Structure 1
Amino acid sequence: MSSPTTVKEAVKSSLLGSEEPVNLSASYRATFLSNAKKDEKTGEPVMGPEEFIEAIAPANEDYSKIHRNQYGILFRVADRSGNGQVTLGDWAAFLNLLNKSDAEYEIAFRLFDVDRTGTVQYEDFRRLYELNKGEGSIPFDWDCEWAKLYIGDKSKRHNLSYPEFSQMLRGLQGERIRQAFQRFDNNKDGYIEPEQFAKIIIETAKHKLSDHLLENLSTLCNISTSSKISYANVRAFQNMIKEMDLVELIIRKAISQSSDGKITRNEFLNEAAKITRFSLFTPMEADILFHFASLDEPSGRLGLQDFAKVLDPQWVSRGISEESQKRARLLQEGKLAAPSALMKVAESAYSFVLGSVAGAFGAFMVYPIDLVKTRMQNQRGADPGQRLYKNSIDCFRKVVANEGVRGLYSGVLPQLVGVAPEKAIKLTVNDIVRGIFTDKKSGHIDLPYEMLAGGTAGACQVVFTNPLEIVKIRLQVQGEMVKATEGATPKRSAMWIVKNLGLKGLYKGASACLLRDVPFSAIYFPTYSHLKKDMFGESPTKKLGVLQLLTAGAIAGMPAAYLTTPCDVIKTRLQVEARKGDTNYTGLRHAAKTILKEEGFKAFFKGGPARILRSSPQFGFTLAAYEVLQSVLPFPGKAKEQQVHTGVAEVISSMREKDVASPHARSRNALKIILDIDENFGRVRTGDEKAWKAVPRFMGGN
């Protein structure tokens, strides 16, 4: 059995730490050495209180509502030997402590364990509290029944172990609020004035709250019929701020399932009931949350931007965080350089390459259908007996039978080469024009401008589309021409066709191509955008999956493809090489009149079903691949897309990332626990030299 001494040493080692080997990253070692000074006795680098504050609280950090000099109270925790110096080993141990899951409570415990015994004595705790409480602050009765439950009565005081001390700290803020409420409730009717409530919260929780909350505390009385604030209101408010992390989780989960990125009070409570085992939040607590979040937006439906003003403790006046203000100042001073011209070119090239790969992928997936569509559209004559193919399925079968499976991919190579820049231009131009006409604040774009963006994209792509189409079409139909003439007509290569046509010939039928591509894109892109948003609920907080993107793209392609089939038929007839006995069309109007006269109106929709089966999934594959590639292969060094400044989603998430990597962030969280005792804890009071002579040096005393 272990001896009491061994057990005590084990407890002390666990709580107070032992001499660990120095194991620091290069950056943390550099931080220590850049702030340390040489010890006159040993010659080793060490940090005193001032150097420690420089290291743990660098001047460029955001201290929000915690004074920078208050970080000095952590010096005693880092100074394990108690000699007023922090060595490299001490610094390493302190950083290891910050990485512990319960770092905030253990730091507070070590601070009050003055004699390093592994327990906190009541006298030490009370003395440090009295020396650090603010002048004119609301008194706290340490002889109250609540305190006695933790530390015993005067005649039976006992020391607090680490678990006991941590549990006492967790309930301390609530007891401070209760005592303060009783002190202000002079009439003993369970009500206090709004100004008194504001004073209580500012003294007990200011370091955890946003400016938006602090400036509007007195409006809490507006949630009830009374002009005063009840104790129930106060407790409900405290419970909400105490469970802010859980509130944020519930809000983000509920909003992710909302079609418009906003939720109501009932939706919040419903989601809370799903996430928590029991109904953790009362109706009054939900009322308080929505009251403060909706002061600037009284619609009843709130988004992350609204809740961020309540949940983000760094949210300051006018909803602009310190980080954002700092960035704005640097931009104004010219310290943050704008993206260079080279960077813009690189980003454009990046978008072009992704669009090219996505376009080639989409075209390859549906190429056999495209070949069938072309051959169906090229069939002439009103008499079914004169036609080579009865329908699309018959065409597909005969191509495989006469030319093999490879025949389905006749002309695929120039299609893949040409479709890359074509699709890249279409996607890029659509994005650019949409960006010009999109409202920067709301992110809304009117339907006419959506159609204009799509139509502009379709017009720009014709530069690549027309040469591609004419070469592709001639390669697609030459297989049946060879079969029909029993080998008399030799197979031509893509290069032969290009040389034979010349530059002017490559743009034959360009007017028909424009007539097809402009309305196609004007219909397609707005339909695709609205399907994603209205049918699948895409929002700044909801990202669609590949299957949803494919479905939206495929559905959007159906009306766009079928309604533009007449233009595609005319374009095909103009671009295909006429066989012996076939009519030679002289232009767009001549082709339209001749087809109508010789074959009837139905001829304009030849290959319509095949066109739907080709265009619809092709654009679905292309756009889905484009968006997936953007997610999988983001542009190097590019900041994440700022869809909506949510505060909660961005600022708090970034803070949590910093919690893992930044000693300052974890130290700040530890201070927030300590400041629950009193907001002035660790703040040096000038002009009170006598009082501070009694304060230990590690607390800033003389």
Structure 2
Amino acid sequence: MDSGGFFVSLLSGAAAGTSTDLVFFPIDTLKTRLQAKGGFFANGGYRGVYRGLGSAVVASAPGASLFFVSYDYMKSTLKPKFQRLLPSASDQFIDTTVQMCSSTIGEISACMVRVPSEVIKQRTQTHASHSSWQTLKVILRNENGEGIRKNLYRGWSTTIMREIPFTCIQFPLYEFLKKKWAQFDGVEKVAPWSGAVCGSIAGGIAAAATTPLDVLKTRLMLSDRSVPVWQLAKDIYKEEGFKVFLNGIGPRTMWISAGGAIFLGMYETVHALLTFRGDKPL
């Protein structure tokens, strides 16, 4: 990836992340409260659905930019390597493998920014009066003695556990749908609105499939102390039953399905605007 491609991915990702978080933040709040211990109304109900927006907005642009810079770079780097390593493999198999590896690396990169933001955001969403800044100050006081890094990155491993299967479903499916749509229309590349539709379908399927992991991630981030993820899963199952792992599946699927349309549609739109002027690349 040259410097032009780097900045195109950087700016396209920033626009995609910020627009999605601004539009769909209330649905994310409702999902978090559904998944939190004690239930929906005990954690705020329908009140203050924009609580925690500050931390999400601050992190959305750099997080999404990190993802797309890593994803686009790894796609262009890994494809020729896989073609050399697997000369007899089909193009579809190579494309899918490259997309899964690239999106995984992209998600891990983005989580360096996203996890602290999620911790602050979710604790603010379920607190009756705190703002994002007040929540951050509480974390920085390190009242539980576990250390600032451990408190800010609580749920890191579970977030990665959720994001890797999510992105391994979403992005290969997204790229596959775009490819089939382009073939059906007889064009080389689909329009941004078509990419938005493909992103919506892929995001909704991936969101529904990974909801149990999202429940675990939410509970870990809201916990005052670190808990091994498998112990947490056993405790939740014993106390609340299996159905709790599907809490928030409706809002999560709706939010990510609609958010996928805006996120990937905005990415495709900005990418196209920055890459082309008329019929000639910039």
TM-score range, shorter chain: 0.7 to 0.9
Among 464, 478, 495, the alignment partner of 2:127 is 478
- Asked if structure 2 preserves the Cα contact closer than 8 Å seen for 1:550 and 1:617, the reply is no
2-structure distance, mates of 1:596, 1:573: 13
**2:204 aligned residue (551, 558, 565):** 558
Q: CA deviation at 1:452?
A: 1.9
Of 548, 553, 559 in structure 1, the residue corresponding to residue 194 of structure 2 is 548
Q: Post-superposition shift, 1:627?
A: 1.2
Partner residue in 2 for 1:20: none
Residue aligning to 2:158: 512
Letter in 1 for 2:29: L
Counterpart residue type for residue 368 of structure 1: P
Alignment-derived partner of residue 596 in structure 1: 237
In structure 2, the CA distance between the partners of 1:615 and 1:597, relative to structure 1 (3 Å rule), is: same
Alpha-carbon offset, residue 373 of structure 1: 0.5
Residues 349 and 388 (structure 1), Cα distance of their counterparts in 2 relative to 1, 3 Å cut: closer
- Aligned pair 1:415/2:56, yes or no? yes
Gaps in structure 1 of 5+ consecutive residues: 1-338, 381-386, 483-489, 579-583, 642-702
Q: Which one has more relative contact order, counting CA pairs under 8 Å at least 6 apart?
A: 2
Q: Which amino acid aligns with 1:520?
A: F
Q: How far apart, CA to CA, are the structure 1 residues paired with 2:172 and 2:136?
A: 37
> Which of 94, 104, 110 is matched with 1:461 structurally?
110
Where does the alignment leave 5 or more consecutive residues of structure 2 unmatched? 84-89, 143-147
1:290-689 correspondence runs (5 A):
344-345=2-3, 347-380=5-38, 387-389=39-41, 398-399=45-46, 403=47, 407-438=48-79, 445-479=94-128, 482=129, 493-500=134-141, 502-535=148-181, 537=183, 541-577=187-223, 586-634=227-275, 640=281
- Could you tell me how far 1:605 is from its partner in structure 2? 1.3
Percent of aligned pairs sharing the same letter: 29
Read off the aligned partner of 2:199 and give its amino acid letter.
G
Q: Which amino acid aligns with 2:164?
A: V
Give SS of 2:167's match: helix
Cα distance in 2 between the residues matched to 1:596 and 1:427: 36
- The equivalences for 1:235-254 within 5 A come to none
TM-score by length of 2: 0.83
Q: What is the Cα-based RMSD across aligned positions, in Å? A: 3.0
SS at match of 1:438: helix
CA contact (8 A) 1:536 1:548 kept: no
Partner Cα distance (1:346, 1:542) in 2 = 22
Q: How far apart are the structure 2 equivalents of 1:538 and 1:511?
A: 40
CA distance in 2, matches of 1:354, 1:497: 34
Instruction: Indicate the SS of the match to 1:508.
Output: coil
Q: How many residues align?
A: 266
CA distance in 2, matches of 1:615, 1:538: 26
Change (3 A) 1:635 1:534: closer
How far apart, in 1, do the equivalents of 2:261 and 2:141 lie?
A: 35
Distance 1:357 1:388 in 2: 31
TM-aligned CA distance change 1:377 to 1:533, over 3 Å:
same
Change (3 A) 1:551 1:505: same
| SS at structure 1 position matched to 2:76 | helix
Aligned-pair CA distance for 1:596:
1.2
Q: Distance in 2 between matches of 1:551 and 1:345?
A: 29
The aligned residue for residue 87 of structure 2 is none
Deviation, structure 1 residue 372: 0.5
Contact 2:200–2:261, Cα closer than 8 Å, also in 1: yes
* Greater Rg by CA: 1
- What is the distance in 2 between the residues matched to 1:634 and 1:610? 35
C-alpha spacing 1:466/1:538, structure 2 compared with 1 (3 Å) = farther
Per-residue deviation, 1:498: 4.8
Structure 1 segment 98-247 matched on structure 2, within 5 A: none
TM-score (norm. length: structure 1): 0.35
Letter in 2 for 1:436: T
AA at the equivalent of 1:452 = C
Deviation of residue 536 (structure 1)? 5.4
CA drift of 1:592 comes to 1.0
Q: Distance in 1 between matches of 2:185 and 2:108?
A: 29
Q: C-alpha offsets along residues 458-500 of structure 1, whole Å, 9 cap, x if unaligned?
A: 2222211211110110111113xx5xxxxxxx66625424523
Shift in Å at residue 379 of structure 1? 3.4
Higher share of residues assigned helix:
2
**Aligned residues of 1:509 and 1:587 also touching (Cα < 8 A):** no
